[in-house]
Amino acid sequence: MRTTILSLLLLSSLHAYPQFLVSKTATISFFSSTPVEDIAAVSKTGSSAINPKTGDILFKVNNTSFRFEKKMMQEHFNENYMESDRYPTSEFRGKITDPVDYSKAGTYQVTVKGTLNVHGVTKSYQVPATLTVNGTQISAACTFNVSVADHKIKIPSLVIKNIAEVMQVKVSATYQKN
Amino acid sequence: MKITAPLLFSVSLSILPFSGIAQDELEKALATQTSPEKVSATFKSPKLINIQTSETIHRHELDFRVDHRFGDIAGHNGGMSNFFGLDQSTDIRIGFDYGISDRLTAGLARAKGAGPATQLYEGSLKFRLTEQSNDDGMPFSTTLFGSATASAMRASEDVTAATAYRKFADRLSYVAQAVLARKFTPAFSFEVVPTYVHRNFTAYNDENDLFALAVGGRLKVSKRMALVADYTVPFRTKSSKDYIEAVNGAAFYHVLGAGLEIETGGHVFHLNFTNATAIQESQFIPETTSTWTKGQFRWGFSIARRFSFHRKDAKQQE
């Protein structure tokens, strides 16, 4: 009986997906700075997955999960800028182009190449990122700039002094083996 | 060269679908059931034209609002002689609403008053009971609104008048409403508002207790502009209504308001037309005696500005 269960388990593990690295608590934040005001928003419920074999990487975040200090800004963000009803998620699909040994502890400086989809508009990016392997814990961090105009997000002239044209986006995630 | 081209083609063929599949598999690895979220911004402002919406003020934010109603555009009192009502103002209201929490708003206001009673002071509370969720687990939002209005005017000497106050309590009137609202599409929201008005003191033979039903809607026409309209029906008993109408020489009417809402990021403007002369619920619901059909509708506007009072150090904690 025991051996049957064991062999069944073995079989099922063989048929499972290749072992992905998954994070459901990815932190994604953006920061806008102008002489008039600084605006920051953060989502701690982003999700990300890495296929360690191919280097494929995916980041996904619900636009309504971004939290602002001022709730009214949050409402404006979803209603007027991101149009979260029409474009509920923002995502990045790409590939880690440098080799990483996920079984060896260390910090890896890598390049991530792919496309970012925000507000229904896709744009190619190539950004440096840091991968840290520490035993079974693997984490990733990356900072890059996104131009609001690139994603066809219009800032009305009335608030043009309050909202930066380029946002600094920070992404970090700690992965578990799936 | 002839060899490399087909070779490249076949290589790209084999890679392209593969990378697509790889991303799909990653997507599957992330697939989770998403938890239902609250539907936000059913309306843009705590008020439509005449009636309350389901919206409350966010925590630690202050909404400063000025409402204005001009005189009759047309009819007996309108027209060119008073510049289509712009020479008069039937009611002016200045209000402050503060978000104690995201669900509870407290308000203070001063209004000129357009019924028999003038010099009005209003205190109000608004509480979000339920919020619509995007999976329709809760199909609509419910917000409760309660207000008390006191008149500071000189009491009338005529004992049959609505303002023949004998003691302070006579000066008070109350409004209780339940706002049931639903955002049907990102562009369209609708609400039904059962209302109860209690006036401690009224004109002789008028009703102290009055029920009313109001409906209102908002239709977004662009990212920052919306059409808004509301309609209020007071339920008066026939005998009292007939008596008061005979004494006043004026009939009571339902209240219709229609207008344009413009949002500019921090400010909300309403440009509207309504037959109600008064702004306060305690007055426009029971006391509207002007009607659209006689040209007794007016131009009105409101300007609302939102201020945030968040502690500065909250920024550094981020």
Residue A41 in contact with residue A61, Cβ under 8 Å?
Answer: no
Q: Does pLDDT of B37 surpass 90?
A: no
Q: Which of B236, B268, B278 is nearest to B53 (CA)?
A: B268
* Alpha-carbon span A172 to A60, nearest angstrom: 12
pLDDT grade for A18, boundaries at 50, 70 and 90: low
Interface mutation target, options A57, A72, A91, chain B, most CBs of B under 10 Å: A72
DSSP E strand boundaries for chain A: 21-33, 38-51, 56-62, 67-68, 89-96, 106-118, 121-134, 137-147, 166-177
* CA distance readout (Å), A108 to A55, A97, A113: 13, 12, 16
pLDDT grade for B33, boundaries at 50, 70 and 90: low
Give B-chain residues touching A57 at CB under 8 angstroms: 26
A79 inside 8 A of chain B by CB: yes
Give A-chain residues touching B59 at CB under 8 angstroms: 71
* Alpha-carbon span B243 to B43, nearest angstrom: 39
Give B-chain residues touching A18 at CB under 8 angstroms: 25
Residue B259 in contact with residue B228, Cβ under 8 Å?
Answer: yes
pLDDT for B107 equals 97
Q: What is the pLDDT of residues A136-159, one digit of tens each?
A: 889 999 999 999 999 999 888 888
B29 inside 8 A of chain A by CB: yes
Q: In A, residues 106-125, which contact B (CB 8 Å cutoff)?
A: none
Q: Does pLDDT of A66 surpass 50?
A: yes
Q: Does pLDDT of B317 surpass 50?
A: no
Q: What is the pLDDT of residues B128-182, one digit of tens each?
A: 999 999 888 999 999 999 999 999 999 999 888 899 999 999 999 999 999 999 9
pLDDT for B311 equals 65
Chain length of chain A = 178
Q: What is the pLDDT of residues B49-98, one digit of tens each?
A: 999 999 999 999 999 999 999 999 998 888 888 899 999 899 999 999 99
Nearest CA in chain B to A64: B37
The alpha carbon of residue A1 is apart from the nearest alpha carbon of chain B, in Å, by 31
> Contact A156/B265, CB-based, under 8 Å?
yes
Q: In A, residues 42-71, which contact B (CB 8 Å cutoff)?
A: 42, 47-51, 54, 56-58, 60, 62, 64, 69-71
Q: What is the pLDDT of residues B268-309, one digit of tens each?
A: 999 999 999 999 999 999 999 999 999 999 999 999 999 988
The alpha carbon of residue B213 is apart from the nearest alpha carbon of chain A, in Å, by 29
pLDDT grade for B199, boundaries at 50, 70 and 90: very high
pLDDT for B11 equals 44
B135 inside 8 A of chain A by CB: no
* Alpha-carbon span B235 to B252, nearest angstrom: 10
pLDDT grade for A177, boundaries at 50, 70 and 90: confident
pLDDT for B315 equals 45
Q: Does pLDDT of B18 surpass 80?
A: no
Largest CA distance in chain A: 73
Q: Which of B281, B257, B259, B278 is nearest to B270 (CA)?
A: B259
Tell me the count of A-B CB pairs closer than 8 A.
86
- Give the residue with greater pLDDT, A14 vs B230: B230
B70 token code pair: 């001009």
> Contact A70/B308, CB-based, under 8 Å?
yes
Nearest CA in chain A to B223: A80
- Give the residue with greater pLDDT, B7 vs A112: A112
Mean pLDDT of A89-115: 92
Q: Does pLDDT of A72 surpass 70?
A: yes
pLDDT for B76 equals 85
Domains along chain B? 61-317 (2.40.160.40)
- Give the residue with greater pLDDT, B23 vs B252: B252
Residue B260 in contact with residue B270, Cβ under 8 Å?
Answer: yes
- Give the residue with greater pLDDT, B55 vs A20: B55
User: What's the distance, CA B195 to chain centroid?
Assistant: 14
Mean pLDDT of A37-62: 92
Q: What is the pLDDT of residues B92-135, one digit of tens each?
A: 999 999 999 999 999 999 999 998 999 999 999 999 999 999 88
Q: Does pLDDT of B6 surpass 70?
A: no
Q: For B206-216, b where at least 16 C-beta lie within 10 A, e where not — what string?
A: bbeebebebbb
Asked whether the CA dihedral B50, B52, B54, B55 is positive or negative, the reply is positive
Domains along chain A? 19-177 (2.40.128.110)
Residues 6+ positions from A18 with CB-CB distance below 8 Å: A51, A53, B25
